[in-house]
């Protein structure tokens, strides 16, 4: 019984990878750049989407796909911020998005009308990292109140991402967070990963993040 488990998991992930490649081909054909936002619950994924859409929607057409266990609250926030389209995927209890779920949501967006797609994954530091979606880059949003030990405790997610946002830096005076210790943990797992310390609340550091997103798309 136990011997069959690993091949089955490999088969599921293999099928997911094939579908992720199909999603990627759709993005490339329509000239859309796609980002996958991963983070713990409450780290600020939707807040960063709101700030990004608000700042860039004059220059770029941005669509947002929000993965959540239930509710359409996050997609509503993205739409209110000015997203060209905002689609909610309710995973029905699943702790991550996968390429099948994304493929099913894509027909609700006219990819030919957008430049940038931001996918908000389900708030979770473990499962989303195992499922490729076909997006071009993955961004991990860490946040100060989560604590400085998270790279050490959740290495899989920190290892695989293309960029790291450290959100809620406005809370540094109030929360015990050793930035050096945090960054050392990240450096071992993902040497040289581009990092954006910022605050969605005060907008400190936001310009550098926005410039990075813009040069990816244009
Ligand atoms: N102080 C502070 N609070 C922030 C900042 N960014 C977001 N928040 C707050 O953090 C809480 C969670 O933010 P969200 O953007 O909803 O986080 P999320 O990662 O999308 O959460 P889930 O989708 O539920 O996983 C909200 O109360 C935000 O107002 C920040 O930079 N500083
Ligand atoms: Mg959210």
Positive/negative CA dihedral, 41, 149, 156, 50: positive
CB of residue 150 inside a 6 A radius of ligand 1: no
- What whole-number distance in Å separates Cα of residue 178 and Cα of residue 216? 31
Cα of 183 vs centre of ligand 2, distance in Å, is 24
- What whole-number distance in Å separates Cα of residue 98 and Cα of residue 112? 23
Q: Ligand 1, closest atom to CA 171?
A: 1
Cα of 58 vs centre of ligand 2, distance in Å, is 23
Tell me what pLDDT residue 6 has.
Answer: 67
Q: Which two tokens stand for residue 209?
A: 């993040």
Average pLDDT over residues 101-107: 96
Residue 206 pLDDT > 60, yes or no?
yes
The alpha carbon of residue 16 and the mean position of all alpha carbons in its chain are separated, in whole angstroms, by: 18
CA-wise closest residue to 125 among 38, 186, 190: 38
Q: Using one digit for the tens of pLDDT, what is the confidence trace for 146-196?
A: 999 999 999 999 999 999 999 999 999 999 999 999 999 999 999 999 999
Cα of 42 vs centre of ligand 2, distance in Å, is 7
φ and ψ of 129, to 5 deg? -65, -20
CB of residue 52 inside a 6 A radius of ligand 1: no
Whole-model pTM above 0.85?
yes
Angle made by CA atoms 187, 189, 192, in degrees to the nearest 5: 40
Q: Using one digit for the tens of pLDDT, what is the confidence trace for 39-87?
A: 999 999 999 999 999 999 999 999 999 999 888 899 999 999 999 999 9
- Counting residues of the chain whose pLDDT is more than 90, the rounded percentage is 89
Atom 30 of ligand 1: nearest residue by CA position: 168
- What whole-number distance in Å separates Cα of residue 214 and Cα of residue 115? 10
Positive/negative CA dihedral, 190, 196, 199, 200: negative
CB of residue 200 inside a 6 A radius of ligand 1: yes
Up-side HSE of residue 44: CA atoms within 13 Å toward CB?
Answer: 24
Atom 21 of ligand 1: nearest residue by CA position: 42
Tell me what pLDDT residue 4 has.
Answer: 65
CB of residue 64 inside a 6 A radius of ligand 1: no
Three-class SS of 81-124: HCCCEEEEEECCCCCCCCHHHHHHHHHHCCHHHCCEEEEECCCC
Domains and their CATH numbers in the chain: 14-217 (3.40.50.300)
Residue 7, C-beta contacts closer than 8 angstroms, at least 6 positions apart: none
Mutate to test the pocket of ligand 1, among 36, 37, 42, 80 (most ligand atoms within 8 A of CB): 42
* Strand (E) or helix (H) holding 52: helix 45-56
Tell me what pLDDT residue 13 has.
Answer: 78
């Amino acid at each position: 019984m136990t011997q069959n488990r690993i091949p089955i998991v490999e088969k599921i992930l293999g099928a997911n990878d094939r579908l992720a490649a199909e999603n990627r081909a759709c993005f490339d054909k329509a000239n859309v750049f796609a980002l996958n936002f991963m983070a713990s619950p409450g780290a600020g994924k939707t807040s960063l989407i709101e700030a990004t859409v608000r700042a860039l929607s004059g220059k770029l057409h941005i669509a947002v796909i929000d993965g959540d266990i239930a509710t359409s609250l996050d997609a509503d926030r993205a739409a209110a911020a000015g997203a060209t389209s905002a689609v909610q995927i309710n995973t029905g209890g699943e702790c991550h998005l996968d390429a099948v779920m994304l493929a099913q949501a894509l027909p609700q967006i006219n990819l030919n009308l957008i430049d940038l797609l931001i996918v908000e994954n389900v708030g979770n530091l473990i499962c989303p990292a195992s499922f490729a979606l076909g997006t071009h880059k993955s961004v991990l949003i860490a946040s100060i109140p989560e604590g400085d030990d998270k790279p050490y405790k959740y290495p899989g997610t920190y290892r695989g991402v293309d960029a790291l946002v450290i959100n809620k830096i406005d809370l540094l005076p109030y929360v015990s967070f050793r930035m050096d210790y945090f960054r050392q943990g990240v450096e071992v797992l993902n040497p040289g990963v581009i990092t954006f310390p910022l605050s969605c609340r005060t907008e400190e550091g936001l310009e550098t993040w926005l410039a990075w997103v813009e040069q990816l798309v244009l």
